[in-house]
């Protein structure tokens, strides 16, 4: 997860330079490098799962990391935006295989144990959006945009080397499924027939859509609507640091109270903070300091909910963990990208689209998990 976030965030400061280097007629075309990367990850995530259920987790992850490294090494030599977009697509396809980390966790854990492991991994993951753009800006100043892709390649090689040396094969041979359309379809039917999986999976998609909306709108909201300008990253850093601490607290709470209870309470409080934002905005009584406090508290609850929903969706799907992880990854990524884009396009110079988007999607997510809780876990 962390490498994918780095590949997105570290190059954000370089988008204008890349656009000029590729001779794009409008600056917005360079932003397609972000969307194409996410599209590649979503496509890869959907197809790699059945392969992982048939061949194991280790080989697809290693192959995907190697693909990411190769595309990163070639990107500095791109001569056109079309070539750059193709290489970013390949990068995304390679990164999409790391979605199998959920299947690796599911091979070892289930339910609350898996949620606890995911919450601990989020601690490091949530720091990346703070650090990566700053690193990218520094590299851009010293060595140019090409060096950013070379940095991605170096980091990719480091992760590849670690996976080669340390990542074991977690899927036992007797648990593997035949690879074929009939087997894949049978796996998808198992997932679709599981109310627990569908409910928690859809809830995670809605919540992820709210996160993408947050990412899409915070820069103009902080930088323009509240007039922070160049101090915008500091506000983002404050929220991310609180989220990282919240992830650790979440792991302790899951151990004591269980993932279902923590997820439900966290999402309920998330909706409460979003409702407070809607109310204060409607009353024209939302100064920056109050907005920052409420958004940071809301995103802390997002962290708790995010750590639990994905794990709970996988509770009954140990036999098709690879297919499930990839199916959820693809559907959630595509759905959340659409929802987040709607929030971003709704920006009107005020926090309204973010506030209302978080509130509406929070309620939708809450309703989905209430529905899912009507289905008993089968272990």
Q: Taking CA 227 as the corner, what is the angle to CA 138 and CA 20, rounded to the nearest 5 degrees?
A: 40
CA 19, 24, 30, 33 dihedral sign is negative
**pTM over the 0.85 mark:** no
**Which of 129, 127, 68, 126 has its CA nearest to residue 97?**
68
Residue closest to 75 by CA, chosen among 176, 173, 149: 149
CA dihedral 56, 61, 62, 68 (to 10 degrees): 160
Of 104-108, 151-155, 249-253, the range with the lowest mean pLDDT is 104-108
Contact 334, 208 (CB under 8 A): no
Rounded Cα distance between 182 and 323, Å, is 13
Written as six digits, the tokens of 113 are 């144990």
Of 334, 373, 203, residue with least CA distance to 271: 203
**Domain extents for the chain?**
2-170+179-372
Residues making up the chain, counted from first to last: 379
- Among 15-24, 26-35, 250-259, 359-368, which is the least confidently predicted range? 26-35
* Stronger pLDDT, 98 or 287, i.e. the higher one: 287
pLDDT digits (tens, 9 = 90+) for 241-263: 888 788 778 878 887 888 888 88
Kindly report the CATH number that applies to the domain delimited by 2-170+179-372: 1.20.1250.20
Q: Comparing 2-6, 215-219, 244-248, 317-321, which segment has the lowest mean pLDDT?
A: 317-321
């Amino acid at each position: 997860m962390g490498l994918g976030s780095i590949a997105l965030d570290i190059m954000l400061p370089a988008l204008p330079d890349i656009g000029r280097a590729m001779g794009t007629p409008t600056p917005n075309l360079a932003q397609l490098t972000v969307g194409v990367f996410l599209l590649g990850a979503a496509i890869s995530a959907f197809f790699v799962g059945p392969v992982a259920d048939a061949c194991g987790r280790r080989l697809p992850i290693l192959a995907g990391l190697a693909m990411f490294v190769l595309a990163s090494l070639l990107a500095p030599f791109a001569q056109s935006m079309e070539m750059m977009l193709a290489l970013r697509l390949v990068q995304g396809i390679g990164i999409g295989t790391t979605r199998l980390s959920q299947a690796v966790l599911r091979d070892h854990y289930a339910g609350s144990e898996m949620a606890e492991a995911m919450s601990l991994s989020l601690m490091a993951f949530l720091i990346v959006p703070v650090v990566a753009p700053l690193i990218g800006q520094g590299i851009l100043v010293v060595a140019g945009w090409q060096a950013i892709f070379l940095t991605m390649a170096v980091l990719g090689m480091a992760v590849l080397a670690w996976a080669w040396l340390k990542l074991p094969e977690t899927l036992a041979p007797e648990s593997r499924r035949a690879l074929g359309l009939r087997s894949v379809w049978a796996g998808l039917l198992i997932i679709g027939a599981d109310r627990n999986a569908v409910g928690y999976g859809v809830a995670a998609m809605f919540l992820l859509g709210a996160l993408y909306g947050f990412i899409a709108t915070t820069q103009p909201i902080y930088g323009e609507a509240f007039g922070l300008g160049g101090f915008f990253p500091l506000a983002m850093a404050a929220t991310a640091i609180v989220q990282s601490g919240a992830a650790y607290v979440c792991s302790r709470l899951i151990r004591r109270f269980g993932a279902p209870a923590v997820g439900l309470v966290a999402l309920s409080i998330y909706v409460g903070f979003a409702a407070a934002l809607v109310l204060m905005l409607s009353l024209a009584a939302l100064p920056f300091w109050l907005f920052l406090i409420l958004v940071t508290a809301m995103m802390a609850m997002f962290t708790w909910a995010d750590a639990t929903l994905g794990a709970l969706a996988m509770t009954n799907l140990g036999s098709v963990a690879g297919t499930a992880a990839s199916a959820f990854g693809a559907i959630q990524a595509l759905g959340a990208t659409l929802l987040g884009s709607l929030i971003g396009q709704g920006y009107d110079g005020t926090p309204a689209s973010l506030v209302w988007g978080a509130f509406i999607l929070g309620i939708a997510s809450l309703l989905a998990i209430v529905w899912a809780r009507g289905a008993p876990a089968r272990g």
